[in-house]
Structure 1
Amino acid sequence: MIVGDAIVVFLFANLIIATIGADNSTDCNRLCGAGKSGNRVNYPFGFSDGCQIRLNCSSSGQISLAGFDVRRLTRDSIMINFSAKCNRSIQDIKKLFGDYYALTWQNELLLQNCSSLVSNCSVSASLLENRFKLKGGCDFNKAGGDNLSCYPEGDGGNGVLSYENVSRIGCKNVFSSIFVDSLSDGNSNVSLQFETIQLAWWLRGKCRCSENANCPSLPLADGASGYRCQCNDGFTGDGFADGEGCRPACDTSKYISGHCGGIRIAVLVGGIVAGASAVVAMAVICYFFWRHSYSMKGDTSANRLLSEAAGRSRVPLYPYKEIDRATNGFSEKQRLGTGAYGTVYAGILQNDECVAIKRIKHRDTDSVEQVMNEIELLSSVSHPNLVRLLGCCIEKGEQILVYEYVPNGTLAQHLQRERGGGIPWATRVTIATETALAIAYLHSAIKPPIYHRDIKSSNILLDFEYKSKVADFGLSRLGMPESSHVSTAPLGTLGYVDPEYHQNFYLSDKSDVYSFGVVLVEIITAMRVVDFSRPQSEVNLATLAVDRIGKGRVDEIIDPFIEANRDSRILLSVHKMAELAFRCLAHHGDMRPSMAEVADELQHIGLTG
């Protein structure tokens, strides 16, 4: 059976590649590398002359552009590795300004040997020295560090830079680059990415987007504008009429066997004609023998624990075969996001139910504890604003959780304009209220209480009616009935962790209150929780908010989207929420309100505002 499974999987991999790989532009090669290990790119990228945006592919499968390694491609940017190097001519970056791509304003180029100081860097000189002093023997003191300059100065919006403006400033060398990025794993963390350049990409001419896609324009340095296609909410794909277009976010029906039967024989014959060697087939078979014996030894204990947890909780167990089919073999095209503990995929089960499937990344002791935690906690709660756990899968050494599918992304994505154009204030108040009611339910209606321990805007999911669903209970803990707190090492997300909990390891319901206070500030400001592009004293959003609210200067930090649509009632409501957030962010937990009090106050704000 193992040999048979190996051959079937080997051939099925060819089927998936051939099926998904097809698009409308057959004259463009979009695969770098061979087979399952190859890197596939979406339209308009590719590796041959017929591609709209030409990339390069090395023999090892590394993707590059203009001689620089590509770190990742997104729907609007190309992330480039730009290692630190002394005496690099500024002309070397000219290749990164092309007809279809250019540097964005989010980069900060570190320039040397300038005719005059261009701009002070947003990052301190000491941090730069610590970060780069070992890079190829480059020491700032020896490499003109005294006149180290940064460009550009300030934020130029969502447009792109021009090489003419960069070269005109009179600097001979470019040492490296810094990019401040919001992580793409679904968290609200912000990382300061050294030795990284972000390029925006676009196509020129008239929009050629598919149905269910929009066509945002990008102002270019030459005064023209480019365009990209993006699928509307609830749809996934590249969005281009000449690419794969848009399909419902969890509609995998065209990849399920019922639709593939007509081409299965052709693919198998094609694979045989292509001459898949016996050596490769034998290697696959040997791999499966090894993996089977290894997993039998290593996963027995974990599977037993998880099976017991599922049995106690009466959580349905899904066969791996159904999970694999629901996600089309965990296809990248169905990936919704990646977090610290796993990757979430959209899927559709045999009963046509859309689900979110989380595949645990590192199957070790910590991950088993995380999975058991979610199984046991989520199976014991029921609230309209908590995401539902539908089942789990622990076959083939995997640890997989199946949740209800919430289609409209996260609160963080909407506040950061990654989805949609902005949320009206009344809707924000409703989202805050529903979230507070869900957390209050965990604290007050459950015995013993549940402390979520990772409340953040990226763990608040929204449906198309903007109904709130609190998710991700991997870090949650049960409270002790006889104690007001639990002693445990502080975990959570940077910028949201209760400082008292961080200091003395006392986890309580007030720790969730603090984290929710940060979310309230996000709702008011739409600012990032941690942002190194802000002044040093304002990098942490909670610190910034406490300062402004405490001084009565809330108006300085209100989201411009709200500012543009406000009236006196909305402004009064914003100030009331700000005062509530201020109380939630009190340093000492005893000074903070309970979540039940927070929920009551938000309901009152909603009624009066």
Structure 2
Amino acid sequence: MDYINDLSQKWIPSFSVSSHLYSRKREIINELRESCGSIVNVPVSRSALRIEERNQSAEALTKALEKGFELSFNRDCSRCRRSKGACGYNNTLGGFVCYCINESHKHTCEKNGLTKPEKIGIGFVCGFLGATLLAACLLCFYIRRRKKLAAQYTNKGLSATPPTSISRSNHALMPSSISNLPNRSVDYGVQVFSYEELEEATDHFSRELGDGGFSTVYYGILKDGRAVAVKRFFEKSLKRVEQFKNEINILKSLKHPHLVILYGCTTRHSRELLLVYEYIANGTLADNLHGDQAQSRPISWPGRLNIAIQTASALSFLHASGIIHRDVKTTNILLDSNYQVKVADFGLSRLFPPDLSHISTGPQGTPGYVDPEYYQCYRLNEKSDVYSFGVVLSELISSKKAVDITRSREDINLANMAISKIGNDSVHELADLSLGFARDPSVNRMMISVAELAFGCLQQEREARPSMDEVVKVLREIQKEGESDAPGVVEVEVRSGDEAALLNHGVPPVLSPVSEKETSGSNTTTTSSSSRTRKSSF
């Protein structure tokens, strides 16, 4: 409805020309507009408009204005409200506008791009999917690597050997009763045992004989009655498989009376890696020098010298075969019921090509026995075994451990202690006096000679050390000179089959003299007992 102010300053109502009811008055209204001083447009409701149509009076006009009018949102305003904006009208643009928090927009506060929460949500989802994909890739890589390692376990030089190719050398060392056993499957060229069979033989691995850095050894009895030592590796890794295979390859192809006999092993597909050796009754040399057996049954000096010769001959044989033991120590020297040596544990051994002066490899071995040049320069050759054997000789002379933190700082390492004492002509400070060093001139001379040999083996420079062939030769000469100084006839009480066996083998009694009443000038040893005595010449 339009309100027209005429010249007499009266308000004259007129209706919008947009109304179809008053289109006939369009010309009149236009003429009135031209004569008005001002025009005011006031929206009214349709119901108020109808009242004004029926009664065109000032009172009707007032009521129409008081009744007001209704508004409804158009489509743009609805969108604006949904986007949390305020609807409005822009006079400049002459159209609808949506007022938002930051600025005005034409239709809505929603931007064409993504909102910040949407971006965060999308980023989170993408990150989660990326992490899941990465984890899946790593899992696939891990599984493929495990399969590859498993393939290496079974394929990297670990092919089975036909049943007819059991090593002749290993077979020749076995007792005839073992050779006559029914044929069994073989792997790596040796007899194969099942894990369950060895688990039963060792009473579920409950009879432990000893342990080392990589394995534990258990006592067992097989169904055929054989007493065996079962070596059980701590883990089934590629490194342990290599050591497992190394021992088998060395022992199945070498024949020597002072190398331990390998009876067999578990298959490469077994749940654990197990090696089966002959059982050596008297344990390790370390047990007999430092353990309980050292107190109850000490080994005499002639017996120790014989052990040194047998160990040296075994190492000399290995070197001649192109093999470096790399872990020579008293715990790897076993003694059977006749106190004959059996060198064991070839897990760290290496083949040594004859055309090379050394092998470059990371130092491995046992503290106290490792060649210092090998430790410092990572260069391994057969003289590294010579150094370790020098430590063994020092233990045989002194009955001391290779490493003992209870000793004074400079003497913790027996090798250093031996070098110092022998170099200062103080062998008596190193020697185990209970062996007869002070009371028996023959023992005194032999121990001093062996100490000088140990001194040569323990030299820092490899070139100054003797070879194992030379060591064997010197030890046999020392033994021969000692026997020539010994009495021609010695009366020895024979109490058991072990001592008789020792005498039959020409080996001096292993028991050290325990009575200080003996004199160095005595030519015979007499024992008074109801047991019989026999004479034996040395």
Residue 368 (structure 1) aligned with residue 219 (structure 2): no
Residue 431 (structure 1) aligned with residue 307 (structure 2): yes
- Structure that is richer in strand per residue: 1
Deviation, structure 1 residue 421: 3.2
Deviation, structure 1 residue 409: 0.8
- Structure that is richer in helix per residue: 2
Question: Which residue number corresponds to residue 196 of structure 2?
Answer: 321
Whether the aligned pair in 2 keeps the contact of 1:310 and 1:376 (CA below 8 Å) is: no
Report the more deviating stretch, 360-369 or 512-521. 360-369
Picking from 298, 313, 328, the partner of 1:422 is: 298
Task: Give, as a single letter, the amino acid of the residue that structure 2 aligns with 1:435.
Answer: T
Within 2, Cα distance between the matches of 1:578 and 1:600? Answer: 15
**SS of residue in 2 equivalent to 1:379:** helix
* Distance change (3 Å), C-alpha of 1:538 and 1:365: same
**SS of residue in 2 equivalent to 1:317:** strand
Cα RMSD of the aligned pairs, angstroms, is 2.1
Task: Give, as a single letter, the amino acid of the residue that structure 2 aligns with 1:410.
Answer: T
* Distance change (3 Å), C-alpha of 1:325 and 1:310: farther
**SS of residue in 2 equivalent to 1:402:** strand
Question: Which residue number corresponds to residue 183 of structure 1?
Answer: none
Deviation, structure 1 residue 563: 3.8
Alignment of 1:36-55 (within 5 A): none
Picking from 398, 402, 420, the partner of 1:529 is: 402
Question: Which residue number corresponds to residue 103 of structure 2?
Answer: none
Whether the aligned pair in 2 keeps the contact of 1:310 and 1:375 (CA below 8 Å) is: no
Question: Which residue number corresponds to residue 406 of structure 1?
Answer: 280
Q: Percent identity?
A: 45
Give the 4+ runs in structure 1 shifted more than 3 A.
Answer: 295-301, 303-307, 309-313, 563-566
| Bigger Rg over Cα | 2
Deviation, structure 1 residue 455: 0.2
Picking from 339, 343, 351, the partner of 2:216 is: 343
Deviation, structure 1 residue 424: 0.3
Residue 442 (structure 1) aligned with residue 315 (structure 2): no
Whether the aligned pair in 1 keeps the contact of 2:235 and 2:272 (CA below 8 Å) is: no
Deviation, structure 1 residue 320: 1.9
Question: Which residue number corresponds to residue 505 of structure 1?
Answer: 378
Within 2, Cα distance between the matches of 1:466 and 1:375? Answer: 25
Question: Which residue number corresponds to residue 153 of structure 2?
Answer: 302
Deviation, structure 1 residue 404: 1.0
Q: Structure 2 unaligned runs (5+)?
A: 1-145, 163-186, 483-538
* Distance change (3 Å), C-alpha of 1:477 and 1:352: same
Question: Which residue number corresponds to residue 559 of structure 1?
Answer: 432
Picking from 493, 496, 513, the partner of 2:366 is: 493
Deviation, structure 1 residue 347: 0.9
Question: Which residue number corresponds to residue 387 of structure 2?
Answer: 514
Within 1, Cα distance between the matches of 2:431 and 2:411? Answer: 15
Picking from 542, 551, 565, the partner of 2:415 is: 542
Within 1, Cα distance between the matches of 2:196 and 2:363? Answer: 38
**SS of residue in 1 equivalent to 2:229:** strand
Within 2, Cα distance between the matches of 1:491 and 1:582? Answer: 23
Deviation, structure 1 residue 565: 7.8
* Distance change (3 Å), C-alpha of 1:376 and 1:569: same
Within 2, Cα distance between the matches of 1:310 and 1:400? Answer: 18
Alignment of 1:205-216 (within 5 A): none
**SS of residue in 1 equivalent to 2:400:** coil
Deviation, structure 1 residue 416: 0.8
**SS of residue in 1 equivalent to 2:334:** strand
* Distance change (3 Å), C-alpha of 1:566 and 1:387: farther
* Distance change (3 Å), C-alpha of 1:310 and 1:602: farther
Alignment of 1:50-129 (within 5 A): none
Deviation, structure 1 residue 346: 0.8
Whether the aligned pair in 2 keeps the contact of 1:309 and 1:372 (CA below 8 Å) is: no
Within 1, Cα distance between the matches of 2:352 and 2:152? Answer: 27
Question: Which residue number corresponds to residue 90 of structure 1?
Answer: none
1:304-358 deviation digits (Å, cap 9, x = unpaired) = 5584276684111112222122111212xx1101111111111111211111101
Within 2, Cα distance between the matches of 1:584 and 1:561? Answer: 25
Task: Give, as a single letter, the amino acid of the residue that structure 1 aligns with 2:247.
Answer: E
Within 1, Cα distance between the matches of 2:260 and 2:240? Answer: 20
Task: Give, as a single letter, the amino acid of the residue that structure 2 aligns with 1:577.
Answer: V
Deviation, structure 1 residue 451: 0.2
* Distance change (3 Å), C-alpha of 1:588 and 1:576: same
**SS of residue in 2 equivalent to 1:330:** coil
1:433-468 deviation digits (Å, cap 9, x = unpaired) = 000000000011x1xx10000000110000111100
Alignment of 1:475-494 (within 5 A): 475-494=348-367
Q: How does the TM-score come out when normalised to structure 2?
A: 0.55
* Distance change (3 Å), C-alpha of 1:300 and 1:320: farther
* Distance change (3 Å), C-alpha of 1:501 and 1:297: closer
Deviation, structure 1 residue 368: 0.9
Picking from 319, 334, 345, the partner of 1:472 is: 345
1:583-608 deviation digits (Å, cap 9, x = unpaired) = 00011111111001101111111111
Within 1, Cα distance between the matches of 2:405 and 2:161? Answer: 43
Whether the aligned pair in 2 keeps the contact of 1:583 and 1:593 (CA below 8 Å) is: yes
**SS of residue in 1 equivalent to 2:354:** coil
* Distance change (3 Å), C-alpha of 1:607 and 1:469: same
Question: Which residue number corresponds to residue 442 of structure 2?
Answer: 569
1:26-46 deviation digits (Å, cap 9, x = unpaired) = xxxxxxxxxxxxxxxxxxxxx
Whether the aligned pair in 2 keeps the contact of 1:495 and 1:529 (CA below 8 Å) is: yes
Alignment of 1:225-304 (within 5 A): 301-304=152-155
Residue 596 (structure 1) aligned with residue 472 (structure 2): no
